[in-house]
Structure 1
Amino acid sequence: MPSSVIKYFSYDVAAKVLKIIFVTNMIYLYKNVPEKMYKMLKASGSKGRYFNRYIKDKFEFQKLEEDK
């Protein structure tokens, strides 16, 4: 199901980094995210709700430049 908040996300298993591009084109890298959490996000019916409940404000992050 498409998310109204998250445009795209990917996960780097080796680095444990979750990359999220929001519909606003803001890009965030969330660090030390367990692979299980990525898989749960992927399987979630509501990506935005899962993100808000289990990832947002729970992991250190780095904000990158906007995706043009």
Structure 2
Amino acid sequence: MEMTKVYAGKLRAIGYDAAKRLLRIELEDGSALEHANVGASIWHALQNAGAQWSYYRDHIEEEFTARRVSTPSVTGGKNPLDDLFG
């Protein structure tokens, strides 16, 4: 699944598998969730939303079954180089 990097609220990447109707989101803490049975219209609306994090929370988070597919990294999603160059 191709992921698109985003910087919207806690979202850091979003991707969609149309054949499986599967939406994957990656969060700022490094964790990832996959939502099942998401239609293409919802995916397109998320991609084009002016406030993607708000759209996700309002229209996807509680409406579609999700499963955690990864856990937060030790650095909590923070790039270790941020301390040097941030």
In structure 1, list runs of 5 or more residues that go unmatched: none
**Moved segments of 4+, more than 4 Å:** none
Please report the RMSD computed on the Cα atoms of aligned residues, expressed in angstroms: 1.4
How far the C-alpha of 1:2 sits from its partner, in A, is: 2.9
What is aligned with 1:42?
A: 47
TM-score normalized by the length of structure 1: 0.91
In structure 2, list runs of 5 or more residues that go unmatched: 1-5, 74-86
Relative contact order higher in (CA < 8 Å, ≥ 6 apart): 1
Number of positions where the alignment pairs a residue of Structure 1 with one of Structure 2 = 68
- Of structures 1 and 2, the larger Rg is shown by 2
Q: Secondary structure at the match of 2:8?
A: coil
Identity over the aligned pairs, expressed in percent? 18
